[in-house]
Chain A
Amino acid sequence: GQNIDQPTEMTATEGAIVQINCTYQTSGFNGLFWYQQHAGEAPTFLSYNVLDGLEEKGRFSSFLSRSKGYSYLLLKELQMKDSASYLCAVTDSNYQLIWGAGTKLIIKP
């Protein structure tokens, strides 16, 4: 079966750095996405990785290792507004998106 694993919940301090991990087992791989979802709102696109390595976008970076079936989302200089759920999703060999259950990130002052 296909599976995406993420921690259910993480807590971090304002101004700090946090790394949210995502491991996947899918039939094929055609890209990995990270979306942010604030409580009661729709998911919004954060990042996309299809090749190994680090993609940096401002305070957010996403890393991919295809050989290890592993990605992480790195958030720097955390702000209270970063409190949200972070969803990892993988496109499989049929170009269908497989979603993780999401990681709820709680930021404390």
Chain B
Amino acid sequence: NAGVTQTPKFQVLKTGQSMTLQCAQDMNHEYMSWYRQDPGMGLRLIHYSVGAGITDQGEVPNGYNVSRSTTEDFPLRLLSAAPSQTSVYFCASSYTTGSGANVLTFGAGSRLTVL
């Protein structure tokens, strides 16, 4: 059981380049999400999905696209990278505990630098 798998772990881009961060989970979770984490700030939600074929914007969606063609995969695309997108990106899926909590399981993270 691999959990949430993210690739790549590290990436350096030049301004204007595009790329896709891959995320896959093998826990059959319906809910998946992408966050970015910047120093001194809380995790910020970029996009999320409540099931295959359904995606929605989070707090900071500009410059990013997502799709959810299967339950397992939720890639994040940077359309035209900007230095402001330098960050650590986390993919997460969630399950509901017996007490009703929607607990997030995070991938290992992808550290992106845009020059």
Contacts and interface: CB of A to CB of B under 8 A. Distances in A.
B45 A44 contact: no
Given A4-B42, A102-B42, A43 B101 contact: no
Contact of A99 (B43, B106, B107): B43
7 contacts: A40-B109, A45-B103, A48-B97, A48-B101, A50-B99, A89-B42, A96-B45
Interface of A: 4, 8, 31, 33, 35, 40-45, 48, 50, 87, 89, 91, 95-102
B53 interface: no
Interface of B: 40-45, 58, 90, 97, 99-109
A101 B41 contact: yes
Given A42-B108, A43-B106, A48 B99 contact: yes
Contacts of A35: 104
A99 B99 contact: no
Given A48-B99, A50-B99, A43 B104 contact: yes
A43 B43 CA distance: 10
Nearest to A91: B102
Contact of B106 (A44, A96, A97): A44
A8 B40 CA distance: 8
A31 B90 contact: no
Nearest to A46: B103
A10 to B, nearest CB: 16
B43 A87 contact: yes
Query: Top 4 closest A-B pairs, CB basis?
Result: A99-B42, A42-B106, A48-B101, A99-B43
